[in-house]
Amino acid sequence: MNKLELPGRVWIASDIHLGPDTPATAQAFHRFLIKASAQADALILCGDIFDAWIGDDVALSAPPPWLAETLTELGHVSEKIPLWLGRGNRDFLIGRALAGHVGAQLLPDQVCLATDAGPILLSHGDEYCLADKSYQRFRRLVRCPAVQWLFLRLSLSFRRGIADFARKRSMASNRHKAMEIMDVSPSAIEQAFSGTDADIMVHGHTHRPQLHRLTVGGRERRRYVLPDWDYDHGDTPRGGWLAVDATGPHLVQASKLS
């Protein structure tokens, strides 16, 4: 298990799903970044920062305006506090080039944080959704280094077409899946806890923010699910993060950010 020491005030967010069609979400996220820079000692974004990511070369060559603005804001954060970027199921192709471009460090897919609140298991969370067998097959395929190597050598337009097709197919498929299939599997959570001394787990992916209490190995454990972000659709804007300090983890959900 990868380990990372992060003392002080650590903020963790996930599932912002930024794209060209989410201007209000982007502005809320940018305000959050300013807030984190002023109030936190480190910021972790643990996956699905972007609704799709087809390669770091998009950001390094000629990023569209919405992306360029977000990259600038991320760079401002890293000038003030350590910034860590994780990879989710939508932006698993984020690499060291992007992290270096914004002055961040790339987060391992699974990591144990040494914090003032104690050890915390952190990941995006999609690896725990074992009941969704079709997704897990897809995940194994796209995480294969050879497949990624081949994909990144396609033209940008071809990559965009593949990403759009995969996203639409995933959305159509999810409409017919029971919610419990797309949630984490209890056995996977128990197994993850059993392999460490951590009593706290943090992940995103499921878009079901909540604190879950469970007993594993005769000890009480806590699983914090991070909120997803959406300030562009529906009547109830949403976002949030987990703030970790010596008093413990605190889940913050925000319908607006000032």
**Distance (Å, rounded) from C-alpha 179 to C-alpha 186?**
14
Bridge partners of residue 10, in order along the sequence: 42, 244
Instruction: For residue 124, say whether it is annotated as part of any ligand binding site.
Output: yes
At residue 113, φ and ψ (nearest 5 deg) are: -85, 130
Could you tell me the CA-to-CA distances from 51 to 59, 67, 205 in Å, in that order? 14, 11, 12
Looking at this protein, which amino acid is placed at residue 12? Answer: I
Question: How many Cβ atoms from other residues are within 10 Å of residue 195's Cβ?
Answer: 11
3-state secondary structure of 95: coil
Decide: 15 and 238 in contact? Cβ < 8 Å.
no
At residue 23, φ and ψ (nearest 5 deg) are: -65, -40
Instruction: For residue 15, say whether it is annotated as part of any ligand binding site.
Output: yes
Looking at this protein, which amino acid is placed at residue 123? Answer: S
Question: How many Cβ atoms from other residues are within 10 Å of residue 137's Cβ?
Answer: 9
Instruction: For residue 250, say whether it is annotated as part of any ligand binding site.
Output: no
Instruction: For residue 228, say whether it is annotated as part of any ligand binding site.
Output: no
Instruction: For residue 170, say whether it is annotated as part of any ligand binding site.
Output: yes
Question: How many Cβ atoms from other residues are within 10 Å of residue 180's Cβ?
Answer: 10
Instruction: For residue 101, say whether it is annotated as part of any ligand binding site.
Output: no
CB burial readout 206-231, b (16+ within 10 A) else e = bbebeeeeeebeeeebbbbbbbbbbb
Instruction: For residue 90, say whether it is annotated as part of any ligand binding site.
Output: yes
What tokens does 220 get?
């009480």
Tokens 């996977």, residue located: 188
Instruction: For residue 132, say whether it is annotated as part of any ligand binding site.
Output: yes
Instruction: For residue 76, say whether it is annotated as part of any ligand binding site.
Output: no
Instruction: For residue 238, say whether it is annotated as part of any ligand binding site.
Output: no
Decide: 106 and 95 in contact? Cβ < 8 Å.
yes
Instruction: For residue 177, say whether it is annotated as part of any ligand binding site.
Output: yes
Binding site for Mn(2+), by residue number, is 15, 17, 48, 89, 124, 205, 207
Binding site for substrate, by residue number, is 89-90, 132, 170, 174, 177, 205
Binding site, by residue number, is 15, 17, 48, 89-90, 124, 132, 170, 174, 177, 205, 207
